Amino acid sequence: MPPEQFRWTQGEEMVGRYEPADAKHFATCFCKHCGSHLPWLAQTGKAMVIPAGTLDQIPPSFELVPEQNLFWDSRATWYQFPHRLNAYPTLPGKSIACKLAP
């Protein structure tokens, strides 16, 4: 997202930033309290990278759909496609698994 469209609403003082010395573009931000990944400004200054897990809701007029898998050849050997796993509305044992579409 363009940096001018991003603003922190609270907690900006708790944001830590890490920039590997040999990286041209990559940086990352994290919560100094819990370590959660947070949005970060690319080293170029041209884009804010927003980890999907930090969103409480889909922003208006924003279609959030996974488009690709990156670094596929180096995925964990135990990785399972999500559609192959049981899905539960709450916790296993507290709810019945849902059937997911293939």
Q: What is the pLDDT of residues 7-61, one digit of tens each?
A: 999 999 999 999 888 877 778 899 999 999 999 888 888 888 888 788 887 777 6
Please state, in angstroms and rounded to a whole number, the distance separating the CA atoms of residues 79 and 81: 7
Q: Determine the pLDDT at residue 83.
A: 80
Of the two residues 65 and 94, the one the predictor is more confident about is 94
Task: Please tell me whether the overall predicted TM-score, pTM, comes out greater than 0.85 for this model.
Answer: no
27 touches 43 (CB < 8 A)? yes
**57-82 residue pLDDT tens:** 777 767 767 778 888 899 999 988 88
Q: Report CA-CA distances (Å) from 100 to 44, 68, 92.
A: 41, 20, 15
Q: Determine the pLDDT at residue 13.
A: 96
